Structure 1
């Protein structure tokens, strides 16, 4: 038997010795991906709006097959050199740390009741169920960790929850040079631990458009749940930091860059033996915006100032805030986008530029330019024949529908004059003509059933009631009111309200697109905020331009030049007319001259805490759309102050006046 054993040993050594030696020395090669710095965001003048601030960090790369007891020992060594703050820990997190101590799990298993180890038939429970019962037993006995142990448990939680060969940050804020030095000196006793860097978004120009920029997830948050499968399929890891909203989300694929790749050799003991960089990665691309940060700051400041003035006047009790947007009517490029959100409960205001694209308001008479052009395209009036009686409408059982000025002020009006003095009566007359209305004051009115569809169809051509297509995620669309009542009858009174802007609700970006369409001669331009995408060089500086946004015409509105001239003349007269009821004269002194349409809408304050209130407070929304210079417009703007308690149309005009002054001065046009 001994001779046979010796012979077998010799046989194995001679014939298979090399194979067994190779097996011991065997390594598996795998590719690890690493993050790269996120792309920057610049304004139209090259000023850095959003960058990255880098900080030293302690990282941990989890080897495949590493045991929880190994991580436990690494944590206890690491915390000798690094001060880690205790985080939020559940009882399960604490129990996991306690059970990771060498021999602790087996010890607890022996202490547990028999029912925690065996099923009712006396069979040994699976390892997963046994461990779950160990956690349960630990929790039942009561967990009392010291401050130091809580810190260690926090580090253990981060390190143990990492995926195989994934790198996590154990500490990435407030790391001292002493901590870095001590960890660097003891890396051999800290397998998987290394000294690296992490980045956070920085805003050198302030956060005046932070809501537009959007946010980036933390390593702990990783990929949002609703996009998990899509992004994993695209090569992301679960704990990757990604754009979660607005520009950061819309341009995620550009800003994220391309991950670095490192080839890692893993020995038979599942430890990393060697690593080699095979691709350094490509830093995220840069976005160059259409917004000039200096102009943006001025617009936001002006808006803040005027809303503060309205608050001092005591009329913002129910107000949502105030919003303003400016765009180039020829290209669709956004020049500024500002917002003030008012908390009606606390009175506290916050920056809310995003409200320009995701909040809707009943804008009032500012939409009358679309009403007149719709009627001209419909043929119920012409550029040469558009004089109509200016008479109030008396519907059965409802208050009189009229303009703000006294009944009888004008016997008749042209379309141009109706825009100048903001006649509701004229707009209702247009709607009745389009609807082939049959009307007897105080007793009867009948309109074609398609009147809502017809008027909204014209409004849609200008961008009112449809999404504009702006390149920021989260845009909402306007809200259409009901066309029929509960009894199935056409809401004729609401159709009249729609004609002068007191029924449907629109976003402010829709209003800007609408007035730009009039300003540029009938082309509905798609708004955009990213002017170009630019590469990043290896040294972090801006590289070559990869793409430039080209202006996009969404549709051409079908009016003639003569029809457009009617509305443009009316809007010029809004700011330069001499009638006592001319509505926009606060903009009269601007040079170059501007054109505009003011708006006032009556509404009611909706209190979410009292949705069934039968007598809600009455409020007034004031708005303004405008473009300038009147002859060759290069800026168009829309402004709204919703839900004030007193009618005062001056605030949008005061904001517009300052915006024009700042823009004309910035572009040299005021000379």
Structure 2
């Protein structure tokens, strides 16, 4: 009985409690749901418009684009470096562009354009292939589960498949790579070379189907008057190469983008700040999902400044052509077989303006010759007797010799344990020489005798020589007044100062013989531009002028027909030589007699008939050819450097020149430097009357 009562009681409780619990739970749910409905209604009524505006909200970002670089003109206003405009297909990347979207755009574009001047790498093709999810799934199925999300392993597997891609797919892969690498909201060029009218029209017709794609204009450097001085002008990086890695941080601080094109060498680099111009700016309005809604031009930008150079394009072409022609003659004769090139430079001695800069480099191993105008500032050579004018000037200014007493014995120098040091002509040809005649016949002996007195050396032939430790400093200080052994400060990067030989041997003893060699130009090495600065200093009366190649800076009118000058370069005197006019005339007289004298040992009489009159100085210096395949050969080939410096007219000079032919066969030297000098003076005279 108790058992039945217990069970009946328990059954009665379950029947009564379960409905109550359910009612409570359902009641709570109903209340919460009612509260949620009420809250949503409240938010919709009170803040609906605000939320809608937030969804439709747009962001505004300012982006910049490059403008055409400044134009470079020659001294007569001819375009040396201009900008060739090209039609281009552009792409502006949105803030949230997906890989699939890029794949679709690239594939669609490949139907309208082709890119044949670039080849996609296997990596680029694989990345494009995997951007299609169906392709990714196929490749993943061939890999272990742990490797299926590893992009590099997916790419490696695609490469192993050796898939055959069509021409369109290769173009699409290139486009995909370009777009993928673009920065958000930046505009890149998808194709900016060899774009056909048909391609342009087809893309234009389908722009609405190609989000981010546009039609624009790009530019590239052009050289309408030839490229003989392109090595001086320099080069500009491509959009693909962008900023040079060596100067990346500098350019980024200056506000450049990584894919900006900048000058990478010489004038393009030296005047980058002026040539780049100011970028155009546009306001890009994007939707909340990152898609570009609108682009507005805020500032059209300003094209780069124009540079007017001191070089005359016609004269430059003539000098370069003459130099190459004469050097080729030297090659044909066998005289220049081991030469590394030839160089010529012309300068206005009254201003420092460079009028022509020419050079060729020669590879003795391959016998190939290329233009290399830069050699005039970055190649150093022992110049020989061409520098003797500075030696005589130093002797006069330091009162080693005087106007009334400048005759020295022409006695060869006999140092103990060394070969005799003498001039080219036989010993005993002259018993003594005065300064002008010593220049005329290019006496090495005169310069050595002068140096011995100048540094207060003690000398007994064949027995003894002593010099003070500052002897080299004394002679070099004099040469440096004329710019020899010093950077000239020309407005081009990469200039070298030359090479100064060692003044002391391994035991710390002064090299007396080398000091004597220095006195007549056979020890230290100088650059061709230093040589023309030196002779200009003699030509203009004693003003060492800074050479320059940019005459003025300005702006080109929109029609390209006028140049508005903002800045003109003024001559910069670096040093005035402290000689008297009579002392200067001693050097000038000697230089005139080198060409017009009557002495049989005169070295440049072949130029006597040139009009206008030339004054100048020749030079030869011993050098050697070391075979790069046998650098330790104890018997290198002996050669000579041949040089000429001069100015014309002899009175009131308007042109100063330097010609250098290094590494000629001493038995086949010829008169190559004089041939180039003749043409340089005559061509200049014809152009400028």
TM category, shorter? over 0.9
Q: Indicate whether 1:189 and 2:220 are aligned.
A: no
Does structure 2 retain, via aligned residues, the 8 Å contact 1:255–1:284? yes
Q: Quote the Cα distance in structure 2 between the aligned partners of 1:100 and 1:533.
A: 50
What RMSD in Å do the two structures reach over aligned CA positions? 1.7
CA distances 1:436-461 after superposition (whole Å, capped 9, x unpaired): 11112222211111111111111111
Q: Indicate whether 1:604 and 2:624 are aligned.
A: yes
Shift of 1:188: 1.1
Give the direction of change, closer, same or farther, for the CA distance of 1:540–1:264 in structure 2 (3 Å limit): farther
Match of 1:478, SS state, is coil
TM-score between the two structures when normalised by the length of structure 2: 0.92
CA distances 1:611-631 after superposition (whole Å, capped 9, x unpaired): 212111000111001011112
CA distances 1:25-44 after superposition (whole Å, capped 9, x unpaired): 11111111111111111111
Does structure 2 retain, via aligned residues, the 8 Å contact 1:256–1:284? yes
Does structure 2 retain, via aligned residues, the 8 Å contact 1:91–1:143? no
Q: Quote the Cα distance in structure 2 between the aligned partners of 1:268 and 1:658.
A: 71
TM alignment of 1:64-75, pairs within 5 A: 64-75=95-106
TM alignment of 1:78-227, pairs within 5 A: 78-85=109-116, 87-102=118-133, 104-105=135-136, 108-109=139-140, 111-116=142-147, 130-139=150-159, 144-227=164-247
Match of 1:506, SS state, is coil
Q: Quote the Cα distance in structure 1 between the aligned partners of 2:308 and 2:325.
A: 29
CA distances 1:102-143 after superposition (whole Å, capped 9, x unpaired): 3544665565324436xxxxxxxxx8xx33443344445555
Match of 1:424 among 422, 425, 444: 444
The aligned counterpart of 1:50 is: 81
Q: Indicate whether 1:542 and 2:573 are aligned.
A: no
Match of 2:641 among 598, 621, 646: 621
Structure 1, 511-520 or 560-569: larger mean CA deviation = 560-569
Shift of 1:501: 0.7
Rg larger in structure: 2
TM alignment of 1:196-345, pairs within 5 A: 196-345=216-365
The aligned counterpart of 1:41 is: 72
Q: Quote the Cα distance in structure 1 between the aligned partners of 2:534 and 2:117.
A: 54
Q: Indicate whether 1:359 and 2:379 are aligned.
A: yes
Give the direction of change, closer, same or farther, for the CA distance of 1:104–1:9 in structure 2 (3 Å limit): farther
CA distances 1:465-520 after superposition (whole Å, capped 9, x unpaired): 01001111221121111111122211111111111111111110000001111111
Q: Quote the Cα distance in structure 1 between the aligned partners of 2:196 and 2:155.
A: 36
Shift of 1:649: 5.3
Q: Quote the Cα distance in structure 2 between the aligned partners of 1:558 and 1:317.
A: 43
Q: Quote the Cα distance in structure 1 between the aligned partners of 2:587 and 2:61.
A: 68
The aligned counterpart of 1:483 is: 503
Match of 1:361, SS state, is coil
Shift of 1:540: 4.1
Does structure 2 retain, via aligned residues, the 8 Å contact 1:285–1:535? yes
Shift of 1:317: 0.9
Does structure 2 retain, via aligned residues, the 8 Å contact 1:86–1:151? no
Match of 2:231, SS state, is helix
Match of 1:297, SS state, is helix
The aligned counterpart of 2:676 is: 655
The aligned counterpart of 1:519 is: 539
Match of 2:221, SS state, is strand
Match of 2:659, SS state, is strand
Q: Quote the Cα distance in structure 2 between the aligned partners of 1:308 and 1:110.
A: 66
Question: 5+ residue gaps in structure 2?
Answer: 1-29
Shift of 1:657: 1.2
Structure 1, 471-480 or 407-416: larger mean CA deviation = 471-480
Q: Quote the Cα distance in structure 2 between the aligned partners of 1:581 and 1:467.
A: 34
Q: Quote the Cα distance in structure 1 between the aligned partners of 2:277 and 2:385.
A: 47
Give the direction of change, closer, same or farther, for the CA distance of 1:397–1:256 in structure 2 (3 Å limit): same
Q: Quote the Cα distance in structure 1 between the aligned partners of 2:527 and 2:117.
A: 45
Shift of 1:538: 3.7
Match of 1:460 among 480, 495, 500: 480
Does structure 1 retain, via aligned residues, the 8 Å contact 2:110–2:169? no
The aligned counterpart of 2:47 is: 16
Match of 1:319, SS state, is coil
The aligned counterpart of 1:121 is: none
The aligned counterpart of 1:123 is: none
Q: Quote the Cα distance in structure 1 between the aligned partners of 2:560 and 2:35.
A: 70
Q: Quote the Cα distance in structure 2 between the aligned partners of 1:665 and 1:612.
A: 50
CA distances 1:73-100 after superposition (whole Å, capped 9, x unpaired): 1011111111222734343323221221
Match of 1:558 among 578, 584, 602: 578
Shift of 1:195: 1.2
CA distances 1:625-658 after superposition (whole Å, capped 9, x unpaired): 1011112111111001110113535111111111
Match of 1:558, SS state, is coil
Give the direction of change, closer, same or farther, for the CA distance of 1:29–1:538 in structure 2 (3 Å limit): farther
Question: 5+ residue gaps in structure 1?
Answer: 118-126
Give the direction of change, closer, same or farther, for the CA distance of 1:492–1:90 in structure 2 (3 Å limit): same
Structure 1, 214-223 or 540-549: larger mean CA deviation = 540-549
Match of 1:337, SS state, is strand
Tell me the number of residue pairs that the alignment of Structure 1 and Structure 2 aligns. 657
Does structure 2 retain, via aligned residues, the 8 Å contact 1:86–1:154? no
Does structure 2 retain, via aligned residues, the 8 Å contact 1:286–1:542? no
Match of 2:90, SS state, is strand
Does structure 2 retain, via aligned residues, the 8 Å contact 1:287–1:532? yes
Q: Quote the Cα distance in structure 2 between the aligned partners of 1:88 and 1:491.
A: 60
